[in-house]
Amino acid sequence: DTMLNQKGKDVICIYVAIGQKASTVSRLVHTLEKHGAMEYSIVLAATASDPASLQYIAPYAGTALAEYFMHQGKDVLIVYDDLSKHAVAYRALSLLMERSPGREAYPGDVFYLHSRLLERSARLSDELGGGSITALPIVETQAGDVSAYIPTNVISITDGQIFLESSLFFEGMRPAVNVGLSVSRVGGAAQTKAMKKAAGSVRIDLAQYREMEVFTQFSSDLDPATKAQLTYGSGLMELLKQPLEHPLSMEEQVVILYAATSHLLVDIPKEKLKTFQGGLYEYMRSSYPQVGDALRTTKTLSEDIQREIAKAVGEYKAKFLKAQGNAPEAATADAKLDKQ
């Protein structure tokens, strides 16, 4: 999805497949071709059937390609999938060369293996052309253990991590991001001002929702404020679900996050939120194209844009609830909110 989202943004994408099945790589290439992403993408593969030496060299070959474009002043995204298989290939080579095994039988320089690779991803100064490489390393965890050897090594090198959990995946939360263990070490510095403003309270809101969710298991009698918090939190979780191969633009994300964090969507039934979200994007594109244009060019969420979003959401919500036959309930929900 990250690669599909770079369409028309003048970014070259390089996908390095290390030790994967050839069928998996073929499926990925097919997906990229289907969405027209192969025009700006390179796939470099050392599959599971290739020798360990080729799997070991694959990410370095990918980075050399990325550096070629970076020195031409281009922006490059490189995905390493995945570095745990890379470390296993390096361990096999090291043991064959009779190097002393260390923790988990990996050689002592396994940290250096990944640090020298990832530290080649950089942003060049304007005098050198201003090109850049952004690395997205993927690491597999065994039984969800984020404190294992290779995951902790890579985490300590990177600017943060997104931790995906299988239990969340099976609960239907996809992408299955564990909000507690996922961390950014650059924070708002990597976000546009608009995104920073729109998503500012999401993390705290989700943490509060999770905390309250635990308490509700023991108590059935809840006060209205707690009920409102739970309705808001479950709606937020629903909005964060995203189907495969449907990347959202920055302006679409800002619109929906602003609408959600401003409590404009609390009276939409949870099961209809995704339908509402898709319809809202269409409505914004047709009736309020200036909002998307302003967010794209200024990258800030000014008060005028906020008012326009609130107005558009209000208009579309009235239409949506009327079509669903929920207009009376919506009115009573608004009245309850006013009282609170």
**Spatial separation of the C-alpha atoms in residues 166 and 171, rounded to whole Å:** 9
**Spatial separation of the C-alpha atoms in residues 314 and 322, rounded to whole Å:** 12
pLDDT tens per residue across span 296-335 = 999 999 999 999 999 999 999 999 999 887 554 444 444 4
Q: Is the peptide bond before 243 cis (omega within 30 degrees of 0)?
A: no
pLDDT tens per residue across span 134-165 = 999 999 999 989 999 999 999 999 999 999 99
Residues that are catalytic: 185
User: What does the pLDDT read at residue 330?
Assistant: 42
- Residue of 26, 18, 27 whose CA lies nearest to 48: 18
What residue ranges define each of the domains in the chain, with the CATH number in brackets? 4-144 (3.40.50.300), 196-339 (1.20.150.20)
**Spatial separation of the C-alpha atoms in residues 106 and 112, rounded to whole Å:** 12
- Residue of 153, 147, 142 whose CA lies nearest to 118: 153
Owner of token pair 């308490």: 215
Instruction: Tell me the pTM.
Output: 0.88
**Alpha carbons within 13 A on the beta-carbon side of 65:** 20
Q: How does the average pLDDT of the chain come out, rounded? A: 91
Q: Which tokens in the block code for residue 47?
A: 């599959």
**Spatial separation of the C-alpha atoms in residues 198 and 251, rounded to whole Å:** 11
Residue 12: burial class (beta carbons within 10 Å; 0-12, 13-18, 19+) = buried
